[in-house]
Amino acid sequence: MSRHVAPPAVLADGRALSAAMLRRLFVGQCLVLALHLAFMPAWLAGLAALVAGYRYLQLRRRLPRAGVVLRLAGVAALTGGLWLHYGTLGRMESMIGLLLGVYLLKLLETHNRRDARVVVLIGMVATTVAFLHDQGIPMAAGALLAVAWLMHSLVWLAGATSARQAWRESAWLLGLAAPLMVLLFLVFPRIGPLWNLPQAERAATGLSDEIAPGDIAELSRSDRRAFRVRFEGAEPASDERYWRVYTLSEFDGERWRRVSPERLAAGLGRELRDLVAEGPRSPWPDDAEPRFTAELLLEPDSRPWRPALGTPLESDERLRWLADGTVEGLVPLASRSLLRLSSSGLAPSWPEPLGERWHTRLPDDTNPRSRALAERLWREAEGEPRAFLAALMARFGEAPFRYTLSPPRLTSRDRVDEFLFESRAGYCTHYASAMAVLARSVGLPARIVAGFLGGERHPDGHFTVRDYDAHAWVEVWLDGAWQRLDPTAAIAPERIEQGAEAVEDGGDAFLADSPFSPLRMRELGWVNRLRLDWERLEYRWQRGVIGYRDESRSAFLVRVVEELHALWGALLGLLPGRGLLAWLVGLALALGALGGVAAGLGLAWRRHREGRDEALRIRRLQAWLAQRGMPPHDGESPAAHLRRLADSTGAAGPALRDCAHQLERLRYARLGPAERRTRRRVLSRRVAEVRRRLARQGVTG
């Protein structure tokens, strides 16, 4: 006979839960909560501790069971806390917080197996929801650990007799699910979200649609990633990597602002179609050919901006193409996304539909000294725009002007005057703002472009652009096209060639908000190699797994078919008599397929007979048990046989008892058709459970 296995230790009796099982459920809750803590209020961890403490005292008979009033008070407190934290319950973050809070509070009313299963299933949902925050490798590894623990708890609730058996069955279930998961991932079409939840404002680029001198200098303190890019074909040189995000054409004396096409059309009486268009390619005439084709891996952002290397020309998806030479998505990015974009690398060559006058506007009675300086330099250049602009660039390149990451604060009303004639120290926005004002003062159309310059090139060929790469420069309408002018190239050419970290003046401000950034240790070779290896792995994960789209799926399936066809041809080519062999192999495959169909039909017919004849099903179960050394005694009925074995088969015992019970009800009770069908289905599941559990236990006679 088989060895006797003790009943489960985590269950106090047939239904009630022991303290050990409650601890296991709480550990699972902690694992799930850990996936969310970096994105959710930390006080949710305090809520988990309070719930666990209350259940512990309740089990020690020091507190009563949580009643309806206490549970409703907990839900009300949770809802109020989320409302105070987020200001609303309608955003995605607050809804996730509500799910997590209810998941934690559920432990207060968990007293039996059914409640425990509900807790585990809610944990599965909360684990899946964690991927709304992030889809990186750490999140995937943490989710796998949480799912394994939850599956282990579920198996133990089903009657596992030991931790080893529970882990073995959990691994078996996860192993069976893994091939199906991979197959569905590779071949199943991607389905868009069935609904969209509003999200909190979350900007990845760090840029805003208005800037003042000194704003972008603050971004040098952060190493937050803005986007990653891989070029198809030629890569731009370091002084060509100007990533346009948006243009700013309205100046109030202190700040430069972007004006949306909708506002411009309404304010100036223009048609919106004159300023923006939708489609896969730019509708604006441009003589430039696509020089660069880039695959962008964009970070989530609450704004629809899309960076482009110079003027964007064509994309693999529908975008909004603006007349100022920038591009934006139709919707903000809720998660990381891939975008293929071709661009010219140059400033736009078409005239602004708003006309030159819009880009020469300046507020009255501001920055008088700057206006006077511009008029003097214009006279000295004899009204020649190129000579005038060259004089401006030369002036910025002379002492006492200096480029610094820690510029002095400008407080006066005439901030350009204060910068040009007093502080003479600033960041890219100081010089770009001053140059645009000086150009407009003499009637030259000018605007500021905000975006990024540079990016770190990784050994595998992709670039990473971060907050500290944020940059601002000037575009001037000259000789029938917009011309890019960057005064930073005159005052700090090392910023153009090597990035913000190369600027010595005020270098203490670089990465000041990221004290533990691995970028601070780039001088240590082994640390830098580890950082680059991790970023390469993470990039490939995001691009290959998270960015796996319909095009990738189609290409993968085509490649698989081609490889199989090539393999089949190679096998036939290795053997003589290719024509005859191919015919014989085809015949064998056809016969095998017919045999498989016949076997499947036979199995289906057998199951159909067993489904209508419970006695036949039990006889076959008894025969299967007899083969394993557990035959019935002489004169012993099938139900008595199963009940006798139930006492010595451990985890299979409850299923054997239920088989005997269902058999007796089906044979002797007066049942209606619906109940008879239900009991036959239950009997079928119990028979399968007996076979599965005894096979895993290795029961022998």
Instruction: Report yes or no on 575 lying in a domain.
Output: no
pLDDT at 522: 66
Which is higher by pLDDT, 399 or 673? 673
pLDDT at 134: 81
Residues 175 and 228 in one domain: no
Instruction: Report yes or no on 35 lying in a domain.
Output: yes
Interval 635-647 mean pLDDT? 89
Instruction: Report yes or no on 524 lying in a domain.
Output: no
Q: Where are the alpha helices (DSSP H) in 499-637?
A: 525-541, 550-574, 578-612, 614-626
Interval 578-604 mean pLDDT? 73
pLDDT at 609: 65
Instruction: Report yes or no on 198 lying in a domain.
Output: no
Structure tokens at 636: 């012993």
For tokens 């005292």, the residue is 57
Query: Looking at 59-68, 455-464, 658-667, which range is the least confident one?
Result: 59-68
Residues 447 and 370 in one domain: yes
pLDDT at 701: 45
How large a percentage of the chain has pLDDT more than 70? 84
Instruction: Report yes or no on 687 lying in a domain.
Output: yes
pLDDT tens profile 132-141: 888 888 899 9
For residue 474, the cross-strand partners are 448, 485
- Crossing angle (nearest 10°) for helices 163-187 and 550-574: 90
- CA–CA distance from 184 to each of 335, 338, 442, 638 (Å)? 21, 21, 64, 43
Residues 177 and 217 in one domain: no
Residues 313 and 402 in one domain: no
pLDDT at 582: 63
Interval 155-167 mean pLDDT? 79
- Is residue 162 over pLDDT 90? no
Last residue of a domain, one of 326, 355, 384: 355
pLDDT at 59: 79
How large a percentage of the chain has pLDDT more than 90? 18
pLDDT at 121: 93
For tokens 């300046």, the residue is 362
CA 482 to the chain's CA centroid: 38
Residues 491 and 390 in one domain: yes
- Is residue 444 over pLDDT 90? yes
Instruction: Report yes or no on 491 lying in a domain.
Output: yes
Residue numbers annotated as active site: 428, 471, 486
What are the φ/ψ torsions at residue 341 (nearest 5 degrees)? -140, 130
Which is higher by pLDDT, 35 or 411? 35
What are the φ/ψ torsions at residue 90 (nearest 5 degrees)? -95, -5
- Is residue 78 over pLDDT 80? yes
Residues 381 and 317 in one domain: no
- Is residue 10 over pLDDT 50? no
Average pLDDT, the chain: 82
Which is higher by pLDDT, 356 or 438? 438
Nearest Cα to Cα of residue 690 among 664, 658, 655: 655
Residues 166 and 140 in one domain: yes
Highest mean pLDDT: which of 67-71, 186-190, 278-282? 278-282
Please report which confidence band the pLDDT of residue 14 belongs to, taking 50, 70 and 90 as the band edges. Answer: very low
pLDDT at 94: 87
Residues 135 and 75 in one domain: yes
- Is residue 66 over pLDDT 90? no
Last residue of a domain, one of 337, 355, 373: 355
pLDDT at 166: 82
* Parent domain of 64: 19-187
What are the φ/ψ torsions at residue 139 (nearest 5 degrees)? -65, -40
- Is residue 513 over pLDDT 60? no
* CATH, residue 418: 3.10.620.30
Number of domains in the chain: 4
Query: Looking at 212-226, 268-282, 304-318, 617-631, which range is the least confident one?
Result: 212-226
| DSSP per-residue codes, 303-347 | S-EE-EESSEEEEEEEEEEETTS-EE-SS-BSS-EEEEEEE-SS-
Interval 261-276 mean pLDDT? 83
pLDDT at 320: 93
Residues 20-29: b if buried by 16+ CB within 10 A, e if exposed: ebbebbbebb
Please report which confidence band the pLDDT of residue 448 belongs to, taking 50, 70 and 90 as the band edges. Answer: very high
Which is higher by pLDDT, 262 or 206? 262
User: CA dihedral in degrees (643, 648, 652, 657; nearest 10)?
Assistant: 20
Nearest Cα to Cα of residue 534 among 542, 305, 438, 587: 542
- Is residue 2 over pLDDT 50? no
Last residue of a domain, one of 339, 355, 371: 355
pLDDT at 13: 40
Q: Are 343 and 308 in contact (CB under 8 A)?
A: yes
Please report which confidence band the pLDDT of residue 9 belongs to, taking 50, 70 and 90 as the band edges. Answer: very low
pLDDT at 672: 85
Residues 30 and 171 in one domain: yes
pLDDT at 203: 47
The three-point CA angle 274-276-277 to 5° equals 105
pLDDT at 70: 86
Structure tokens at 488: 């930073």
Interval 358-370 mean pLDDT? 88
- Is residue 111 over pLDDT 90? no
- CA–CA distance from 104 to each of 54, 57, 78, 95, 127 (Å)? 12, 17, 10, 14, 13
Beta strands in 467-550 (DSSP E): 470-478, 481-485
pLDDT at 4: 41
Interval 533-557 mean pLDDT? 75
Distance CA 95, CA 98 (A): 5
Residues 41 and 165 in one domain: yes
Query: Looking at 49-63, 66-80, 138-152, 473-487, which range is the least confident one?
Result: 49-63
**N- to C-terminal Cα distance for the chain?**
5
Instruction: Report yes or no on 547 lying in a domain.
Output: no
Residues 37 and 178 in one domain: yes
pLDDT at 578: 54
Interval 102-109 mean pLDDT? 88
pLDDT at 316: 86
- Is residue 617 over pLDDT 90? no
pLDDT at 56: 83
Instruction: Report yes or no on 539 lying in a domain.
Output: no
Residues 159 and 220 in one domain: no
pLDDT at 607: 66
